[in-house]
Amino acid sequence: MEFKKVVLLGGGVLGTQIALMSAYSGHDTTIWLRSEGSIGRTEPKIEYYTKAILDALEQAKKFVGNPLGAYVYPKALIPDWNNITVEGIDALIAEGKKNMKDNLHLELDVKKALSDADIAIEAMAENIEEKITFYESIKDILDDKTILCTNSSTLLPSTFAEHTGRPEKYMALHFANSIWAHNTAECMGHEGTDPDIYKQVVQFAKDINMVPIEVHKEQPGYVLNSLLVPLLDAGQNLWARGIADPETIDASWRIGTGAPVGPFQMMDVIGLQTVSNVLKMKPDAKDPESVTYRLIEMVGEKIEKGELGVTSGKGFYDYSK
């Protein structure tokens, strides 16, 4: 199957990144948004991540001919590093800038957005009830050919399959943050996913310069978050209990492991609204005596001040400078 029209259902942190990579790689791409207010929130994300992508290409020129380049270059943006030149990167910058401008569209009419879509990727908040309501609202307007995926990072596709109206054409396709550099796409079906559809989604991931991570069984957190979430939970627990502040926790992780960032820096990239949504799904979220309840309050205080993470310029750290 040739994926000519790609639709992102939601323009959050990852929805915007996925849409830009789809457009960058030459696909006609539409982001559906709920309201004019959503457009006002998404347009700055598009500007921010477009600049980040082009800056990553610009920085990569410094590593041409350097053995370190093979480890640090933005893998989704430069398909063949071994034969790349500075002139070749300049050409990619020009082409990428044009593609991200010409191929990306915003749409408020969901029926119009989904018309003739080859694949639609739901990238909405981690809220089960909201996702179910949304799936049921679009199931009768999807074209028969449209493959429907969820970018959920924590929820299983089997939770929603019966509500989509096309369980055999529904599965999870989960991306990591900074998609242009960390170019994994976790492909996870449910028992009712058509094996041929699964293969097509794997191919789509390759078409937008991702490395498909084929998950053979449903697993909460897939592969990446099954490794990452325990780290974030541990960092949050230390913070909520007053053991150490975020800067100290992050420094401990970076120095002790050689990792480039710590858990709170990761949460700033993920976005604190997403962090809050995940916390609210925990079993003890409403128990005033629980650490989770305290964390929801602490993260909520930052959200109320507009400190949403990297995209807002401030989260646990200040990015305004």
Residue 246's nearest CA partner among 224, 226, 268, 228 is 268
- Tens digit of each residue's pLDDT (9 = 90 or more) over 23-34: 999 999 999 999
Least confident of 67-71, 101-105, 240-244: 67-71
Least confident of 191-200, 218-227, 239-248: 218-227
> Partners of 120 in the beta sheet?
7, 148
At 68 the pLDDT is 84
Ordered structural domains, the chain, with CATH: 5-215 (3.40.50.720), 225-309 (1.10.1040.10)
At 115 the pLDDT is 98
Separation CA 278–CA 154 (nearest Å): 8
- Where does the chain have alpha helices with state H? 13-24, 36-60, 69-72, 86-102, 110-114, 128-138, 195-207, 224-240, 246-257, 263-270, 272-280, 291-304
Least confident of 3-7, 187-191, 270-274: 270-274
At 320 the pLDDT is 84
279 CB-side CA count, 13 A: 25
At 1 the pLDDT is 82
At 269 the pLDDT is 86
Across all residues in the chain, what is the average pLDDT?
95
Q: Residue 181 above 80 pLDDT?
A: yes
pLDDT band for position 312 (50/70/90)?
confident
At 71 the pLDDT is 85
Dihedral of alpha carbons 231, 131, 299, 317, sign? positive
At 50 the pLDDT is 98
